[in-house]
Copies of this chain bind each other. A is one copy, B any other.
Amino acid sequence: MFFASDNAGPVHPKVMERVIAANTDYAMPYGKDPIMDEVRAQIREQFEAPEAEVYLVATGTAANALALACYTQPWQTIFCSKVAHIEEDECNAPEFYAGAAKLTLVETDDKMTPDALRRAIVARAAGDVHTPQRGPVSITQVTERGGVHSLEELQALTAVTKEYDLPVHMDGARFANALVALGCTPAEMTWKSGVDVVSFGGTKNGCMGVEAVVFFDPKKAWEFELRRKRGAHLFSKHRFLSAQMAGYLADGAWLETAKAANANAAYLAEGLRKAGAEFLHEPAANMIFARFPRAIHRKLHDAGARYYLWDGTLEGDDDEMLAARMVCDWSISRDQIDQFLSHF
């Protein structure tokens, strides 16, 4: 009954098979391995972006921080949701990589709205040397509260960024989960909606530790390569990153796992709803924020269930409602979910 995160589950067999298969003989190091050529071609095809530049790193924080750094000057500010991963969970990595730039928070509890984004941008006056200068906008898809921006919502956001001529980054740690939720194409969810660079996550959705950074504008390529090396994120035995991503993309494994994760979350959400839980945010992908009585939390805890208590602790009144964050990965079984629900 592990719902603490989708970053703790096993690696999908197709990914592991590719890793094992890659382990023969010598391969050119530092991203010049032939499997990387295959990965690049696959991503260009999947994203309908034949000019895109594609790089691999091992962590989501590295993907975000390096991608944003390529679009941020040290005297600028990145705009992001006030609950964004880059703001709350990366221990100042974005600031570090962007040369001590600032993050300006867009007021929102879940999905970013165009009005809130505009207010944040306008508050940083242009043309004045004293104020932090306007830099890129980072949109999280799936959001940290489990929301998924529709294509219309994404385009409404990038309409604002275009007005101010600001580049757009997408934190796609759960890219696949959003994609299958929307039923759109990768191109639609990114460059066709105004996204310049995306952190395309693999780790949470069935890989060991690999994320692609995809630049739709190849001009940033060389800078990214230098930043990646300087950040110590360039792997010598790079084929083992490539192999993960190749296995992930092959035969649609990445979509399968995302569909499975979302379906698991939908199944769990339905069960919770029937059991009377209240939802803080309407579940849209593989994350659920729901509130139910402390007594049930205690039972779940005693039974070994793992998830985050969002706004309280196990100590206190039995009847008090406490919120939980529950995340489903692709590998959790229906049995496990049923067992979880049986405690309600």
Q: Are A232 and B61 in contact (CB under 8 A)?
A: yes
Q: How far is the CB of A17 from chain B (nearest CB, A)?
A: 10
A324 vs B229: C-alpha distance in the bound complex, in angstroms? 25
Interface residues on A, range: 35 or more
A10-B24, A11-B23, A95-B100 as given contacts; A229 in contact with B65, CB under 8 Å: no
Chain B residues within an 8 Å CB radius of A130 = 88-91, 229
A236 vs B93: C-alpha distance in the bound complex, in angstroms? 15
Q: Are A16 and B26 in contact (CB under 8 A)?
A: no
A7-B237, A100-B100, A236-B209 as given contacts; A88 in contact with B131, CB under 8 Å: yes
**Residue A164 at the chain B interface, CB threshold 8 Å:** no
Q: Are A91 and B236 in contact (CB under 8 A)?
A: no
**Residue A27 at the chain B interface, CB threshold 8 Å:** yes
**Which residue from B8, B74, B77 sits with its C-beta under 8 Å from A236?**
B8
Closest partner residue, chain B, to A60 (CB atom): B236
Chain B residues within an 8 Å CB radius of A61 = 229, 232, 234
Q: Are B131 and A91 in contact (CB under 8 A)?
A: yes
A23 vs B226: C-alpha distance in the bound complex, in angstroms? 33
* Copies per complex of this chain: 4
**Residue A240 at the chain B interface, CB threshold 8 Å:** yes
**Residue A75 at the chain B interface, CB threshold 8 Å:** yes
Q: How far is the CB of A73 from chain B (nearest CB, A)?
A: 8
**Which residue from B2, B8, B102, B240 sits with its C-beta under 8 Å from A95?**
B102
Q: Are A26 and B11 in contact (CB under 8 A)?
A: no
Q: How far is the CB of A299 from chain B (nearest CB, A)?
A: 20
Q: Are B29 and A7 in contact (CB under 8 A)?
A: yes
Q: How far is the CB of A178 from chain B (nearest CB, A)?
A: 19
Chain B residues within an 8 Å CB radius of A231 = 93, 96, 231-232
**Residue A267 at the chain B interface, CB threshold 8 Å:** no
A92 vs B231: C-alpha distance in the bound complex, in angstroms? 9
A230 vs B64: C-alpha distance in the bound complex, in angstroms? 12
Among residues 174 to 231 in chain A, which have CB atoms less than 8 Å away from a CB atom of chain B? Answer: 203-204, 208-209, 225-231
Q: Mark A65-93, 1 if CB is under 8 A from B, else 0.
A: 11000000111110000000000111111
**Residue A269 at the chain B interface, CB threshold 8 Å:** no
Q: Are B75 and A91 in contact (CB under 8 A)?
A: yes
Q: Are B91 and A100 in contact (CB under 8 A)?
A: no
Q: Are B102 and A92 in contact (CB under 8 A)?
A: yes
Q: Are A236 and B59 in contact (CB under 8 A)?
A: yes
Q: Are A226 and B10 in contact (CB under 8 A)?
A: no
Chain B residues within an 8 Å CB radius of A229 = 61, 75, 90-91, 93, 129-130
Write 28 A-B pairs (CB below 8 A) sorted by A numbering. Answer: A8-B27, A9-B26, A11-B23, A57-B232, A58-B58, A59-B233, A60-B236, A61-B234, A62-B232, A65-B232, A74-B92, A74-B96, A75-B227, A76-B92, A77-B92, A91-B130, A91-B226, A92-B132, A93-B232, A95-B100, A95-B101, A96-B230, A96-B231, A105-B105, A129-B229, A208-B237, A209-B236, A233-B233
Which 7 interchain pairs have the tightest Cβ spacing?
A7-B236, A62-B232, A61-B232, A100-B100, A2-B26, A95-B100, A91-B229
